[in-house]
Amino acid sequence: MFGNWMKTSILMAGIVALFGAVGAMLGGRDGMLMALVLGGAMNVWAYWFSDKMVLKMYKARQVDETSSPYLYNMVRELAQRGGLPMPKVYLIDEAQPNAFATGRNPDNAAVAATTGIVRLLSERELRGVMAHELAHVKNRDILISTISATIAGAISMLAQFGMFFGGRGDDRPNPVLQILVMILAPLAAMVIQMAISRTREFGADRGGAEISGDPEALASALAKIESYARGIPMGTAEHHPETAQMMIMNPLSGGGLRGLFSTHPATQDRIARLRAMVR
């Protein structure tokens, strides 16, 4: 637990520093001060509200044991097995099979699944997936994941609006430098997400297998999700690629972002580790 809080603190400090550096390069001293204020405010906002923003972004609808007894009761049983408070449960009307967890701590957590993944997977496989998401909750990965998704989007926005900082006199930045920062700042934010996400997925796979007691079910689910997800685009994820690292499987379509900047480890490596647990 301490390690995850330390990672969160480092992430928040790094994000504020990146905001300040981008602001200084785009708008000199005034730009740096403006960016530092914005970065601090974004960290506070992201801690309290970013989970709600992500759920709203994906048009997730909350369900209960009346509106979706199959999914809700499955999550409740797994949460009890994992010694976790009951999270809120959401469905997302998307054909692509995928799922994610969000929230700032286990007492304020939510798990979301697409209608596509509920239809595609067997009950055993879906239990493996929801156990994986609950492992993120138990490991307190969800705060790091949600904040990094929110701030990465903000950094991209800051870079895009960089020309409006301007600066004054000798403090005015070089236009060539401004253009470079506008290109490189979003990539830096993406690298932060990659560093956080890849090792975290292995941990959630192991934790999910322990909660469900069925590593093979999650391995089978991952293979099936990857096979289907590649051919079914998810519009919201394509428009907000900073949220891709929250999903159990990279939701982005084929191309540079998926290949060069994948926030997830290779699926075959994840499956191999799960099946090693079985053996």
State yes or no: is 133 an active-site residue: yes
* pLDDT of the residue at 277: 93
pTM of the predicted model as reported, rounded to 2 decimal places: 0.79
User: Which of 6-10, 96-100, 164-168 has the lowest average pLDDT?
Assistant: 164-168
Q: Please provide the average confidence, as pLDDT, over all residues in the chain.
A: 82
Q: Give the rounded percent of residues in the chain with a pLDDT score beyond 90.
A: 46
- Please identify which of the residues 94, 125, 133, 242 carries the catalytic annotation: 133
Going from N- to C-terminal start, the domains of the chain cover: 2-278
Q: Which of 34-48, 113-127, 186-200, 232-246 shows the highest mean pLDDT? A: 113-127
* pLDDT higher than 80, residue 128: yes
CA dihedral (1, 248, 207, 115) in degrees, to 10, reads: 110
**Choice between 195 and 225, residue whose per-residue pLDDT is larger:** 225
Each residue of 34-68: pLDDT tens digit?
Answer: 777 776 777 677 778 878 989 999 999 999 999 99
* pLDDT higher than 60, residue 223: yes
User: Which of 11-20, 71-80, 196-205 has the lowest average pLDDT?
Assistant: 11-20
